Amino acid sequence: MKDIVMTAETTLSNLGLTAAELTGGTLKIHSPIDGSLLGEVPETPAAEMGAILAKSKAAFTAWRTVPAPRRGELIRLLGEELRAAKDDLGALVSWEAGKITSEGLGEVQEMIDICDFAVGLSRQLYGLTIASERPGHRMMETWHPAGPVGVITAFNFPVAVWSWNTALALVCGDPVIWKPSEKSPLTALACQKIFERAVARFGDAPEGLLQTLIGGADLGKALVESEDVPIISATGSTRMGRAVAPIVAARFGKCILELGGNNAMIVGPSADLEMAVRAIVFSAVGTAGQRCTTLRRLIVHNSIKDDLVARLKKAYSGLPIGNPLTDGTLIGPLIDEASGAAMTAALEAAKAEGGTVHGGARVTDRVPAGGVYMEPAIVEMPAQSETVKTETFAPILYVMGYDDFSGALEIQNNVPQGLSSCVFTLNMREAEQFLSAAGSDCGIANVNIGPSGAEIGGAFGGEKETGGGRESGSDAWKAYMRRQTNTVNYSAELPLAQGVKFDI
């Protein structure tokens, strides 16, 4: 394993992280690949929060008056720096989060894409012109910067989710205070460096546009509680969202929540099964089942269920599990021992509920020692039990049968989460029903595409316990700004709205 450890060191140093910055700190980071120590980083002292918040406020005062297209220039430079750092940052994502090379690089590509999107957006922060009911009056809507944005991110997309929020927040005129997962501080520190390179090239950006907090939940709590942070964008578990949302609501701040998912695919009798199998395997086992959008439930028409399960078992049997940095590997490790234990416990619970489990064992052969490598599991379930309704962040695919399409839709919607969903069918009535008001209740609903791997151009997020937030594309930017309605009277009269008379 020594040569691999050397590679991690090279990656870190290519990204500008010095040995001094990675030694002697209290937060020890072990790679999920092989348990090797990647770094010991210092944690942000809670006592520094006051100064960090003050700096962000001062940055806001300066940044909000910089013209938005000029703010976009900073994001254009960030996109350039990300292009230059793509290979190293992608590799560090693999080291720290355990993703296979292609998915690590894909995550950085997602960052580059959102930068491009945000640069265009910086010239399109449009408001409306509204017809006034009063003569000689004009109404319009203006979008203004809102203030510092607190961004809380999870280990599984350690850099892309930060970039969705940061690229948008910065073009919208808001500085960012970032609290990455304590499981992935190294990729965060690398992003801070990359960002600083863009700032240096930009020239006259205020200090403190991006500040990164390294450490545990106490820092996140301080951020969430602060009146100086009007917007909190938090990605992670539903449990975390339940803790964050009431605190932010109590101070009338705004939340953008992207929480748990329990994503399903309905496979109709007319589906192209060959294509469905490929989509299922990628979305159920890709990223070792650790995406918010991972496919967790398969709802299959009973007439094709046995055939589909047999095809899936065959596809699963040949999946290369191992070191994610080795060419050809498709399934890397889970993030830690607790995740492996949670997977095993979920499989036991599903069995107790009548499930038949295929796969799911711990793999120790031909994988690096010190990592948690698991066979992905297919679990045939007699019904949608409590375990199926619970998100387990691991490669478990529950399979259930259905007879009529409305029954399938009922199963699809009958979970607490509402992030992503899809249908595989060549029947346009089924496809359109799935997308209709009476169809999928999720934030994302696809036809003949798996539930994961969404493009940045669309708004990303979901309903119910997923939290309701939308990030990334479409008009998600509006959540990072405050809306102002303006009425201008260019007449010499002072008519009141609604015809009210008030003569003095």
- Residues with a catalytic annotation lie at 258, 292
Closest CA to 424 of 235, 291, 283: 283
Stretch that binds ligand UN1, among 42-50, 156-164, 333-341, 349-357 (CB under 6 A): 156-164
- By CB under 6 A, name the one of 121, 292, 325, 431 that touches ligand UN1: 292
Stretch that binds ligand UN1, among 21-29, 241-249, 289-297, 401-409 (CB under 6 A): 289-297
Closest CA to 259 of 279, 249, 244, 280: 244
**Residue 156 or 387 having the CB closest to ligand UN1:** 156
Does residue 291 touch ligand UN1 according to CB under 6 A? yes
Does residue 157 touch ligand UN1 according to CB under 6 A? yes
Q: Give the shortest CB-57-to-ligand UN1 separation in angstroms.
A: 29
Calculate the alpha carbon distances from 100 to 93, 108, 123, 340 in Å: 9, 13, 36, 18
Q: Give the shortest CB-261-to-ligand UN1 separation in angstroms.
A: 8
Are the C-beta atoms of residues 60 and 177 closer than 8 Å to each other? no
Q: Give the shortest CB-460-to-ligand UN1 separation in angstroms.
A: 7
Rounded to whole angstroms, the Cα distance separating 386 from 345 reads 13
**Residue 235 or 433 having the CB closest to ligand UN1:** 235
Does residue 289 touch ligand UN1 according to CB under 6 A? no
Phi, psi dihedral angles at 299 (to 5 degrees): -115, 105
Does residue 419 touch ligand UN1 according to CB under 6 A? no
Q: Give the shortest CB-286-to-ligand UN1 separation in angstroms.
A: 8
Interior angle at CA 21, CA 164 and CA 77, nearest 5: 35
Report the relative pairing of strands 263-267 and 295-301 from DSSP bridges. parallel
**Residue 97 or 346 having the CB closest to ligand UN1:** 97
**Residue 17 or 93 having the CB closest to ligand UN1:** 93
Stretch that binds ligand UN1, among 2-10, 85-93, 272-280, 287-295 (CB under 6 A): 287-295
Closest CA to 474 of 461, 464, 484, 485: 461
- Torsion angle, CA of 467/113/64/43, rounded to 10 degrees? 70
Does residue 72 touch ligand UN1 according to CB under 6 A? no
Does residue 184 touch ligand UN1 according to CB under 6 A? no
Interface with ligand UN1: number of residues (CB under 6 A): 11
Rounded to whole angstroms, the Cα distance separating 195 from 360 reads 40
Does residue 93 touch ligand UN1 according to CB under 6 A? no
Helix (H) or strand (E) holding 171: helix 160-171
Residues in the chain: 504
* Sequence-distant (≥ 6) Cβ neighbours of residue 448 within 8 angstroms: 272, 275, 279, 422, 423, 424, 425, 431
Q: At residue 490, what is the residue type?
A: Y
Q: Give the shortest CB-3-to-ligand UN1 separation in angstroms.
A: 31
Does residue 156 touch ligand UN1 according to CB under 6 A? yes
Stretch that binds ligand UN1, among 70-78, 155-163, 183-191, 394-402 (CB under 6 A): 155-163
- By CB under 6 A, name the one of 22, 161, 188, 234 that touches ligand UN1: 161
Stretch that binds ligand UN1, among 12-20, 83-91, 290-298, 400-408 (CB under 6 A): 290-298
Q: Give the shortest CB-331-to-ligand UN1 separation in angstroms.
A: 16
Rounded to whole angstroms, the Cα distance separating 359 from 350 reads 13
Please, which of residues 440-459 interact with ligand UN1 by CB under 6 A?
452-454
Torsion-angle region of residue 149: left (phi > 0), alpha (psi -120 to 50) or beta?
beta
Does residue 293 touch ligand UN1 according to CB under 6 A? yes
| Burial letters 177-203, b for 16+ CB under 10 A, else e | bbbbbbbbbbbbbbbbbbbebbbeebe
Please, which of residues 197-256 interact with ligand UN1 by CB under 6 A?
235
Q: Which segments within 180-294 are labelled E, that is strand?
A: 210-212, 231-235, 254-258, 263-267
- Binding residues for ligand UN1, per CB under 6 A? 110, 156-157, 161, 235, 291-293, 452-454
